[in-house]
Amino acid sequence: MTTAILKQPTEPVEPTAARKPNRSFVHGLITNKKALVGMIVMLVFIALALLAPVLFPGDPSRITAMASLEPSPEHWLGTTAKGQDVLALTVHASRSSLFVGLTVGFASTFIGILVGLASAYFGKFIDEALSLVTNVFLLLPGLPLLVILAAFLPPGLGTVILVLVVTGWAGSARVLRSQALSIRSKDFVAAAVVSGERAGRIMFREILPNMASIVMSTLLACVIYGIGAQAGLEFLGLGDVSTVSWGNNLFWAGNEGALLTGSWWVFVPSGVCIALVAFALALINYAVDEVTNPRLRKIKTPKITERSAAK
Amino acid sequence: MEETVRFILRRLGFYLIAFWASITLNFLLPRFMPGDPVSRMFARTQGKMQPEQIDALRKLLGVDDRPLWEQYIDYLHNIVTGNMGISISRFPAPVTEVIAAQIGWTLLLGGTALVIAAVVGNLLGILAAWRRGGAIDSALPPVLIFIGSFPYFWLAMGALYLFGVILGWSPLRHAFTDGLEPAFTWEFIGDVGAHLVLPALTIVLVSIGGWMLGMRNTMIATNSEDYITMAEAKGLRPGRIMFRYAARNAMLPSVTSFGMSLGFVVGGAMLTEVVFAYPGVGYQLLNAVQGLDYPLMQGLFLTITAAVLLANFLVDILYVRLDPRVRSN
Amino acid sequence: MTQPRYLRSARITAAGLAVGALLLTGCAATVNKSGTSSSTSDNTNAMLTIPREDMSTFDRNFNPFAPAVNPMVNQAIYEPLLVFNPAKGDTTPWLATEWKTAADGKSITFTLRDGVKWSDGKPLVADDVAYTFELQKKLKGGYEYLVGATAEGTNKVTFTFNKPWSPALYEVGQLPILPKHIWSAIADPAKDANATPVGTGPYTEVDSFQAQSYALKKNPNYWQPEKQKIAGIKMLAMSGNDAANLASVNGDVDWSTQFIPNIEKTFISKDKEHRHYWFPPTGAMINWQLNTTKAPFNDPKVRKALSMAVDRDQVTKIGMSGYAQPADCTGLSGNYEKWKNPAVKDNCSWTKLNVDEANKVLDEAGYPKGADGKRTLKDGMPFEFKISVGASSSDWLSVANVISQNLQAVGVTAKVDSPDWASVVAGYEQGTFDSGIVWSANDPSPFKYFNNAMGSATVKPVGTKTFDNYHRFGDPKADALLQDFVAAGDEAKQKDVAYKLQEEYNDAAPLVPLFSGPEWGDYTDVHFTGWPSQDNPYATLSDRSPTTVLILTTLEPRK
């Protein structure tokens, strides 16, 4: 209980005992309205991403001569200054953006888990060392580091992912480490150590499952970071300019002076998509918080609380 | 008291090591990049420079061909003596001058936005937690999070066009009207304020959701603590409980976040400054990176790292004062 | 239920912040409105306002030797001996009234104009010219052919060369002249800030200098006072093309030279009566260079075939928004219109789109198409390569994308590789690139262009850093012609040689010329009239070239 104040605000209170929390957790998520909305939105985008080549066959970035057409029945979202169909570009772009976002999210979280578990289990020396490395990376200015790495490594999706993971892992590592440490101090872990369980088993079968909700939170946050940071990099022209992605769409929109010519239809869709995906993930994150921390759940009857009784 | 001192010293020691590691990384990173500043300059002028002039330029700019470890020793020595060298892209201005001239604007923009976002966000979070399920609690967090989900530069450009160009409510660029002499007059301050509104507003919009949500969740967790129930049982006024008991404890994570964010404000909102042509260090850094201006890049990184470290350290000290339990850890 | 006190005060604080912000906006809104209005009031005091998209902040450094020279230093503060106008191909005497090249081509003598004073009142003398070149060679190098500049009396200067060098006239003639009495007294001329410059130019007095704007007012001792009709020049620092475009479109500036996408729709349409643009093709030729040290680019037939696959109309229309002029087989840009060999120009084949011919030539040269329609090289590897271009040049990036698309029609796969320019140029310098979009020399004399395109003297092996002739092509026939060119005393002789050089270029196809880089420039004549245009090409609309001073001395406030 006393550790609750010291944690990050979005961390849930300490997890329940070492039962399998997953079943009720998943059930809680599905019935939660916010999570539902978020998951539906995500599923829609993932479906669009997977079906893009079917829905919009051909190369969406093919340069033709029809320039900057307004939305019309042939082009629902109009065309860019280079004659590309904006709707096709937007849907195709979801592939790259989601791919990079998810990869960065999973990679950062995975590294964070390793760091967290290693710190928690191996204790003193390794913990200090890992914590030092984490803090050094946290101290490095993120965006400038991103800009440098992205500007000068060979362009390509691999570079973008690498760069984002390098700048993003420290945040998740810190959160996961402090959570792992607090679980480490629990009795059931001490019991497992004393009863001679192997290190790997302790880390992955005892500690990790109890961090499930915060791992999920971290994962979602890292994915959001991945998508947003990729868009920022690409807007500066530092991403992989040859791929079709939301950030690159915005980059080209800026270069072709979309807003200057009043071609808002080139500029708006990709931004809205990024916002929707980030928002959907945030909703799911929100819901995870609520499910694991019952106090955060929506109160159905707000009027009568203990507060008013005191008056 | 001795505990506190020991704690602070340990943190200090840790920060010094972190600082050394960071500055070493800051030194190495720019040098991993291909090319050199003079070639870059040559490319930028699209070959209008005569090739024979390149050597002279190299000498002039002090582009270093010495072995890496020699440069590193020099670099460390320079840091200790406060000499950050001469900028290549703003030659011959010394790096300290370049940074000093522009960091004020970055601090103004970032600081103002941070303070407004944190204060208003936290207040909203407290209000939301207080009136669980009320209008603020149900409607505002999702709305603010949605607005904050938009890519930052997208919001900035949209705002600039909507409020600046189409509606004409806001100036379009720079920190103050061109030609106006900076002075401590109401006219100038008002002008600076007018130019600050839109950039700061976009930063606030993007970040306020996070502050609100964070504070709200922590408040809710705090509200269920025993001592709150105790305070209510004792019949203290709700407002007093909310601010003197609950909020005070719930604020601790916010203080940490605020401190960390303050440090990073020094890094400049690069994208803001590009979109609004705001004369801060952020855009200068982008320029420095693209122009391979090693001294300026290093200088900026150093400043940012030092600022973040300092902020962290101050937050730690503040935290010790606010939460005595930390000392005994 | 009364609200808790603290709650209320919280609400009040928040409201207060909001109101305060509004108040600040309100009372300051009136202050800055004047910037955007196009007042019809007194234009005689209006300042010629120009944005600078590549400098986000200004330093009070007016030193012409700085790596990044402040705007207007070499255009409004300092002046050269003569001004060459690429738009018409004519030369205007400026600080010099006449010049004479010696018969052996190894020296030129300039006669200085009488009555020219520096802005501090001292007279311009031949010593100033001599000292300028001395300082230039010492600080920046270059001018390898120049032995020295000697003053003869107070108004004649003779430049002596170590070999006949016909291009010298323009190179020497367009260097801005500095005052000896100021610069000889400066301890470190390379690093001095020259904060209050002394020059012969029309606008030398620095006024209201700030980090993002400064103004230059009239030179009180200018030698053409009747031509100082405008009150002064105001430079604004922008943080990139976007910010500069916004300023142009919004009418906050009079004259701008950055790339504006779709200029008719974005810029002109907002004020058709006053806004104009003119992009004469006098910029450098933009080439698609193929690394001739790598097969198959060492085969001129392959180079020509690839050139025929490029749809230059599409390249210029989509990549350059239709602003650029497609190249012809002379390889020369619009800057050299008067040098073009009509025989070569009219009978041109390999710079025109001809996919069938391209396919035929590639088939015959031994690069067959496979079953999937893609060609293979002689060693069996697929016919694939990269086109390099810097990511920050979005128009050239579009060009590269169009070319890549065009090449698909002939079964060749080209992938656009766009890291930062530093990386791209490093590849060019070392000769490790496959192919890339590149600029070329654009001096008044076409010598440098041809020398860099096919002179053996400029060829360096792969792995040795070079700054010109990245594609490393040397042609012995061209070498002989180039020698003739520099030795040729008068322009008629030079033109003869130039014709032959173009014939050789047409034969060898060392580069794939794409289009003449346009010289960007647009303006609004709400405040000032007298701009150059297609009908009156007395200068280009560039604000950072030698012809800029011609515009500054021709503009007048709108009455």
Are the C-beta atoms of A92 and A244 separated by less than 8 Å? yes
Give the number of B-C residue pairs with CB atoms closer than 8 Å.
Answer: 195
Are B221 and A295 a contacting pair at CB < 8 A?
yes
Instruction: Check CB contact of C392 with chain B, cutoff 8 Å.
Output: yes
Are A139 and B264 a contacting pair at CB < 8 A?
no
Instruction: Check CB contact of C15 with chain B, cutoff 8 Å.
Output: no
Q: For position B34, what pLDDT does the model report?
A: 63
Within 8 A by CB and 6+ apart from A196, the residues are none
Q: For position B63, what pLDDT does the model report?
A: 66
Residue type, C342: P
C58: left (phi over 0), alpha (psi -120 to 50) or beta: beta
Extract the tokens encoding A23: 């079943």
Q: Which of A81, A237, A262 sits opposite C261 (nearest CB)?
A: A81
Are the C-beta atoms of C537 and C281 separated by less than 8 Å? no
Chain C closest-CA separation from residue B135 CA (Å): 15
Q: Give the tens place of pLDDT for each residue, A211-266.
A: 777 888 889 889 988 998 888 888 877 777 778 899 999 988 887 778 877 788 88
Mutate to test the interface with A, among C248, C394, C425 (most CBs of A within 10 A): C394
The residue among B250, B104, B86 whose CA lies nearest residue B176 is: B104
Q: For position C29, what pLDDT does the model report?
A: 36
- H runs (alpha helix) in A56-85: none
The residue among A42, A12, A38, A7 whose CA lies nearest residue A291 is: A12
Instruction: Check CB contact of B228 with chain C, cutoff 8 Å.
Output: no
List per-residue pLDDT tens for chain C, 559 residues long: 344 444 444 444 444 444 444 444 333 333 333 333 444 557 888 999 999 988 878 888 999 988 788 999 999 999 999 999 988 888 999 999 999 988 888 899 999 999 999 999 999 999 999 999 999 988 888 888 899 999 999 899 999 999 888 888 998 999 999 999 999 999 999 888 899 999 999 999 999 888 889 999 999 999 999 999 999 999 998 877 788 888 998 889 999 998 887 888 889 988 999 999 999 988 899 999 999 999 889 999 999 999 999 999 999 988 888 889 999 999 999 889 889 999 998 888 999 999 999 999 999 998 988 888 889 888 888 899 999 998 778 788 889 999 999 999 999 999 998 877 777 888 898 899 999 999 998 888 899 999 999 999 889 999 888 888 999 999 999 999 999 998 887 888 899 999 999 999 999 999 999 999 888 999 999 999 999 999 999 999 999 999 999 999 999 998 8
Peptide bond preceding C296 in cis form (omega within 30 of 0): yes
Give the C-alpha separation, A50 to C519, whole Å: 45
Instruction: Check CB contact of C440 with chain B, cutoff 8 Å.
Output: yes
* Chain B residues lying within 8 Å of A276, measured CB to CB: 149
Interface of C with B in 49-108 (CB under 8 A): 56-57, 59, 61, 66-68
Are B279 and C237 a contacting pair at CB < 8 A?
yes
Interface chains of chain A (3 or more CB pairs under 8 Å): B, C
Are B217 and A10 a contacting pair at CB < 8 A?
yes
Are the C-beta atoms of A286 and B148 separated by less than 8 Å? no
* Chain A residues lying within 8 Å of B34, measured CB to CB: 152
Instruction: Check CB contact of A250 with chain B, cutoff 8 Å.
Output: yes
Chain B: residue whose CA lies nearest to C194: B92
Mutate to test the interface with C, among A89, A238, A260, A264 (most CBs of C within 10 A): A260
DSSP per position, C126-190: HHHHHHHHHHHHHHH---TTEEEEEEETTTEEEEEESS--TTHHHHHHTSPP--HHHHTT-S-TT
Q: For position A69, what pLDDT does the model report?
A: 80
Q: Which residue has the tokens 């929707």?
A: A276
Give the C-alpha separation, C36 to C443, whole Å: 39
Residue type, C29: A
Q: Give the tens place of pLDDT for each residue, A86-119.
A: 898 999 999 999 999 999 999 999 998 888 888 8
Residue type, C370: G
More confident residue, A294 or C86: C86
* Chain A residues lying within 8 Å of B238, measured CB to CB: 307, 310-311
Are C246 and B172 a contacting pair at CB < 8 A?
yes
Residues of chain C with a CB closer than 8 angstroms to some CB in chain A:
1, 242, 245-246, 249, 260-262, 265-266, 314, 317-318, 321, 391-392, 394, 397-398, 401-402, 405, 415-420, 422-423
Are the C-beta atoms of A144 and A80 separated by less than 8 Å? no
The length of chain B, given as a count of residues: 329
Interface of B with C in 19-78 (CB under 8 A): 33-35, 39-44, 46-48, 50-57, 60-61
Are A63 and C402 a contacting pair at CB < 8 A?
yes
Are the C-beta atoms of C442 and C333 separated by less than 8 Å? yes
Q: Quick count: other Cβ atoms within 10 Å of Cβ B328?
A: 7
Instruction: Check CB contact of C480 with chain B, cutoff 8 Å.
Output: no
Q: Is the dihedral of CA B27, B33, B39, B42 positive or negative?
A: negative
Q: Give the tens place of pLDDT for each residue, B79-119.
A: 888 778 888 777 778 888 888 888 888 889 988 999 999 99
Give the C-alpha separation, C121 to C199, whole Å: 10
Give the C-alpha separation, B9 to C318, whole Å: 64
Extract the tokens encoding A94: 């979801």
- H runs (alpha helix) in chain A: 22-31, 33-55, 86-122, 124-139, 142-152, 157-184, 187-194, 199-201, 208-210, 212-235, 246-255, 264-292, 306-310
Are the C-beta atoms of A72 and A225 separated by less than 8 Å? no
Give the C-alpha separation, C231 to C202, whole Å: 10
Provide the pLDDT confidence category of residue A2 given band limits of 50, 70 and 90.
Answer: very low
Are C392 and A260 a contacting pair at CB < 8 A?
no
The residue among C496, C523, C511 whose CA lies nearest residue C451 is: C511
Mutate to test the interface with A, among C262, C267, C315, C424 (most CBs of A within 10 A): C262
pTM of the model: 0.80
Q: Which of C208, C422, C441 sits opposite B47 (nearest CB)?
A: C441
Give the C-alpha separation, B299 to B64, whole Å: 16
Q: What are phi and psi of C156, to 5 degrees?
A: -130, 140
Are the C-beta atoms of A165 and A111 separated by less than 8 Å? yes
Are A65 and C416 a contacting pair at CB < 8 A?
no
Q: Which of C17, C59, C421 sits opposite B43 (nearest CB)?
A: C421
Interface of B with C in 105-134 (CB under 8 A): 116, 119-120, 123, 126-127, 130
Q: Which of A254, A274, A305 sits opposite B150 (nearest CB)?
A: A274
Are A132 and B21 a contacting pair at CB < 8 A?
yes
Interface of B with C in 83-102 (CB under 8 A): 88-93, 101-102
Q: Quick count: other Cβ atoms within 10 Å of Cβ B320?
A: 17
In this structure, the strands spanning C255-256 and C90-93 are unpaired
The residue among A63, A81, A259, A254 whose CA lies nearest residue C262 is: A81
Instruction: Check CB contact of B156 with chain C, cutoff 8 Å.
Output: no
* Chain A residues lying within 8 Å of C316, measured CB to CB: none
Instruction: Check CB contact of A158 with chain B, cutoff 8 Å.
Output: no
